[in-house]
Amino acid sequence: MTRQDSRKLAAVAEKLREAINHHNYRYYVLDDPETSDAEYDQLMRRLEALEREYPELATPDSPTQRVGAAPSDKFRVVVHRKMMMSLGNAMNADEMREFDKRIKRLLKSDADIEYVAEVKLDGLGIELVYEDGLLTVGSTRGDGINGEDVTPNIRTIRSVPLKLVKPAHGKIPHLLEVRGEAVLTLKAFEKLNRAREEAGEPVFANPRNAAAGSLRQLNPKVTASRPLDVFLYSPGAIDGITFKSQWEFLQGIKSLGLRVNPLSRVCQGVEAVLEYWNEITEKRHSLDYDADGVVAKVNSFGLQEQLGEVSRSPRWAIAYKFKAQQAETVVERIEVQVGRIGSLTPVAKLRPVQLAGVTISNASLHNLDEIRRKDIREHDTVLIERAGDVIPYVLRVTKEGRPRSKPFEMPAHCPECGATIVHEEGEVGYFCVNANCPARMRESIRHFASKTALDIEGLGDKLVAQLVEAGLVKELDDLFSLTKSQLTGLERMADKSAQNILDAIQGARKTSLDRVINGLGIRHVGEHTARQLALRFHTLDALAEASEDDLLSVRDIGAEVAHSIREYFDEPRNLKAVKRLIKVLEIEPVTEAPGRGALRDKTFVLTGTLESMTREDAERKIMAAGGRVTSSVSRKTDFVVAGAEPGSKLKKASDLGVRVLDEKGLNALLAG
Ligand code: IVH
């Protein structure tokens, strides 16, 4: 090829790149595409073909180079040049007015403040760094000071330009850091979850988690398959261009090709911001992404500087969250459930209703006092709410048109076993004191098998109910003498699943003292107290013999807890059950004092083969440093340690956005 030919080809490639970038800009930033998808695809294919034939023509900012990087084993830390701050909250309109007054006071001004009101996006905070117009780093917000370098993943997001657009007036700045939010559209979220469900993989709880999991993927190919989107809204360090206000900044970065939210607006005075909030509240359900409120920012950068910040939040901005989502439905029945210590909990069985994307048919009513206070009765129409988008909660009764009904009463007899219910005057609780109550047994086993206790995988609610119903488990230790034929005799239990469960149960025999103590389900004794007790008493026998005074001398244990522990072991039936457990379990003492351990309260999952130590060594070291090792990855896992040939746990970790360490990383953590 002559030099002239190669120059021509380079010019063709450049033209194609420019055309593609231009169409991206029209599509993602201006939301005003000029071309059809087919035409766009054709341009892409031509460029790809050209670059395949003449690889020297491919530039790093070429739109064909979005998914290039190989998977990595962990993320590098990025120190943000300027801290990424968080926002203070206002709970209601009056608090917004308070915020506005405070600003006027600080600025010693009576005039209306000019704000920019923006949608508060519910995604993952990110930062993009453009040096001389090229995207060089993309990172997560992290703790605001240190983030994670997720550049290869950010590059896969179509609405992030790899190269800034030269604006009609003005030039490309030398340095431009912009902050914003990566979000997953609701459509993409639903599609992703459907695919995961079909593949038998765990689904994401909400688009925010899915976005976080997708961005914190070690393999950029996976990120590329999840159509993330970005909206940019804040400046970081900037050199070579100046903006006088937030509004000018938003317009400026838009003209440089960066995507900004089209709903942002300049508002004169706080009342205009409140109006904006009302409008967005109405609109929020028709948006294609999750939003959780509105952010108001003082427009002028000069005034922002005068106002400054307090404890990592600017004084010039505030978030006003949407009200929790509510719906009306009917209480069809009030049922009473029996817990493991025999406490009765009333639960409203609701006419199923859609609320924030899920069907709600139950809501705990907590206790009789709460029911009385709100006067909730069967057949009432009630207003329910999902606070923090998880637990449904009955807000109040709509009394108009209430049918004739009687106030709710706690039953005199246990709904499960018929024993007399005990209630002490002046106390809130009602209890079934029959230690043989099947409901109590069910709940005890469930708790015993749960993650923070013996962590027996596969022993779910249904199976526990079956085991108790069939009379196969009457005491906790009965679990360990279950046989395969007993299990396969249960409804819907195949040979393979029976074996898996038996293996899981046998695997749980070897455990640590704190887990056993927690698993006993002593009233007021949770994970933390169990650990303190294990550290102090070393064996279950010693704990069972401890006097109330001995117990009171343990860190964080007060009179009520000490009394409850003593009461538990004073009950002959409990003591017998504990003695039997001691015989079947292999209980390891807990040694390291908490607080001193560098990995205090951190949960680890190990996968793959480690080089410098066995898995048991690694477990011991982590535990000695105050950490925990569990067998399966969940959102509660802090670190996954991946050795050679890691299994599916590594994938799960990246899906859930859990941090992954290699052996070196683990050793560094252990070294403190
Ligand atoms: S401004 C100093 N604007 O909310 C300015 N934040 O609680 C700080 N967020 O971590 C951020 N939408 O991830 C700003 N339009 C918006 C936002 C927004 C969502 C998130 C952001 C930040 C958190 C602050």
Q: What is the CATH number of the domain that holds 664?
A: 3.40.50.10190
Does pLDDT of 309 surpass 70? yes
Q: 522 and 503 in one domain?
A: yes
* pLDDT score at 204: 75
pLDDT band at 596 (very low <50, low <70, confident <90, very high): low
C-alpha span between 165 and 178 (Å, rounded): 15
Mutate to test the pocket of ligand 1, among 80, 82, 85, 87 (most ligand atoms within 8 A of CB): 87
Tell me the CATH number at 505: 1.10.150.20
Does pLDDT of 268 surpass 80? yes
* pLDDT score at 203: 66
Determine the average pLDDT of the residues in 655-668.
86
Tell me the CATH number at 272: 3.30.470.30
* pLDDT score at 574: 92
Query: What are the φ and ψ backbone dihedral angles of 220, each rounded to 5 degrees?
Result: -60, -25
Q: 213 and 275 in one domain?
A: yes
Does pLDDT of 98 surpass 80? yes
Ligand 1 atom with the shortest distance to the CA of 119: 15
* pLDDT score at 597: 66
Q: 617 and 551 in one domain?
A: no
Residue 60: which residues within 8 A CB-CB, separation 6 or more?
Answer: 134, 162
Selected residue with higher pLDDT from 8 and 285? 8
For ligand 1, say whether the CB of 234 is within 6 Å of any of its atoms.
yes
Out of 294, 321, 348, pick the residue that ends a domain.
Answer: 321
Q: Which of 340, 339, 338, 336 is nearest to 349 (CA)?
A: 336
**Does the residue 528 lie in any domain?**
yes
Amino acid at 438: P
Q: Strand, helix or coil at 148?
A: strand
pLDDT 10s digits, 455-494: 999 998 899 999 999 999 999 999 999 999 999 999 989 9
Ligand 1 atom 17 nearest Cα? 120
For ligand 1, say whether the CB of 233 is within 6 Å of any of its atoms.
yes
pLDDT band at 290 (very low <50, low <70, confident <90, very high): confident
Count up the domains in the chain and report the number. 5
User: CA torsion angle for 641, 647, 652, 658 (degrees, to 10)?
Assistant: 10
Strands (DSSP E) found in 408-556: 421-423, 430-432, 510-512
Mutate to test the pocket of ligand 1, among 295, 311, 321 (most ligand atoms within 8 A of CB): 295
Q: Which residue has the tokens 């179509």?
A: 158
C-alpha span between 85 and 311 (Å, rounded): 9
**Does the residue 418 lie in any domain?**
no
Selected residue with higher pLDDT from 18 and 672? 18
Ligand 1 atom with the shortest distance to the CA of 234: 1
**Does the residue 315 lie in any domain?**
yes
Does pLDDT of 147 surpass 80? yes
Comparing 72-76, 166-170, 187-191, the range with the smallest average pLDDT is: 72-76
Determine the average pLDDT of the residues in 552-560.
81
* pLDDT score at 197: 61
CA of 670 from ligand 1 middle (Å) equals 34
Determine the average pLDDT of the residues in 536-551.
94
Q: Which of 116, 135, 127 is nearest to 59 (CA)?
A: 135
**Does the residue 365 lie in any domain?**
yes
Q: 310 and 330 in one domain?
A: no
- State both tokens at 453: 């206790």
* pLDDT score at 223: 79
Domain of residue 156, residue span: 79-321
Selected residue with higher pLDDT from 598 and 452? 452
Determine the average pLDDT of the residues in 308-324.
90
Does pLDDT of 202 surpass 70? no
C-alpha span between 171 and 304 (Å, rounded): 25
C-alpha span between 21 and 58 (Å, rounded): 14
CA of 101 from ligand 1 middle (Å) equals 22
Of the chain, the percentage scoring pLDDT greater than 90 comes to: 53
For ligand 1, say whether the CB of 122 is within 6 Å of any of its atoms.
no
Does pLDDT of 520 surpass 60? yes
Does pLDDT of 16 surpass 70? yes
Determine the average pLDDT of the residues in 527-532.
84
* pLDDT score at 594: 46
Ligand 1 atom with the shortest distance to the CA of 124: 13
Does pLDDT of 515 surpass 80? yes
- State both tokens at 115: 């704000």
C-alpha span between 44 and 207 (Å, rounded): 29
Tell me the CATH number at 354: 2.40.50.140
Comparing 505-514, 571-580, 584-593, the range with the smallest average pLDDT is: 584-593
Strand partners, 151: none
* pLDDT score at 592: 59
Query: What are the φ and ψ backbone dihedral angles of 609, each rounded to 5 degrees?
Result: -100, 130
C-alpha span between 321 and 175 (Å, rounded): 33
DSSP characters over 613-632: S-HHHHHHHHHHTT-EEESS
Question: Which helix or strand (DSSP H or E) is residue 232 part of?
Answer: strand 228-239
The 8-class DSSP code of residue 64 comes to: G
C-alpha span between 130 and 179 (Å, rounded): 11
Q: 451 and 336 in one domain?
A: no
**Does the residue 331 lie in any domain?**
yes
Q: Are 631 and 650 in contact (CB under 8 A)?
A: no
Q: Are 229 and 289 in contact (CB under 8 A)?
A: yes
User: CA torsion angle for 103, 104, 107, 109 (degrees, to 10)?
Assistant: 170
C-alpha span between 172 and 130 (Å, rounded): 10
Tell me the CATH number at 10: 1.10.287.610
* pLDDT score at 168: 83
CA of 97 from ligand 1 middle (Å) equals 20
Q: Which residue has the tokens 């459509």?
A: 187
Q: 516 and 375 in one domain?
A: no
Q: What is the rounded end-to-end Cα distance, in angstroms, of the chain?
A: 59
pLDDT 10s digits, 103-112: 999 999 999 9
Determine the average pLDDT of the residues in 609-633.
81
Q: 359 and 257 in one domain?
A: no
- State both tokens at 514: 């704190």
Average pLDDT value over all residues in the chain: 89
* pLDDT score at 646: 84
C-alpha span between 392 and 325 (Å, rounded): 10
Instruction: Give catalytic residue positions.
Output: 120
C-alpha span between 295 and 353 (Å, rounded): 30
C-alpha span between 384 and 370 (Å, rounded): 15
The pairing of strands 313-314 and 309-310 is antiparallel
* pLDDT score at 198: 60
pLDDT band at 388 (very low <50, low <70, confident <90, very high): very low
**Does the residue 422 lie in any domain?**
no
CA of 297 from ligand 1 middle (Å) equals 10
Q: 612 and 516 in one domain?
A: no
* pLDDT score at 540: 96
Comparing 250-264, 297-311, 610-624, the range with the smallest average pLDDT is: 610-624
Does pLDDT of 389 surpass 50? no
The alpha carbon of 41 is separated from its chain's Cα centroid by a whole number of angstroms, namely 36
Selected residue with higher pLDDT from 247 and 63? 247
Q: 248 and 179 in one domain?
A: yes
pLDDT 10s digits, 398-429: 888 788 889 999 999 999 999 999 998 877 78
Ligand 1 atom with the shortest distance to the CA of 141: 10
**Does the residue 549 lie in any domain?**
yes
Of the chain, the percentage scoring pLDDT greater than 70 comes to: 96
pLDDT 10s digits, 32-71: 888 787 788 888 889 988 888 888 888 888 888 777 666 6
pLDDT 10s digits, 329-383: 999 999 999 988 888 989 999 999 988 767 889 988 888 888 998 999 999 999 9
CA of 87 from ligand 1 middle (Å) equals 7
Q: Does the model's pTM come out above 0.85?
A: no
Q: 312 and 184 in one domain?
A: yes
**Does the residue 493 lie in any domain?**
yes
Q: 163 and 150 in one domain?
A: yes
Q: 627 and 661 in one domain?
A: yes
For ligand 1, say whether the CB of 120 is within 6 Å of any of its atoms.
yes
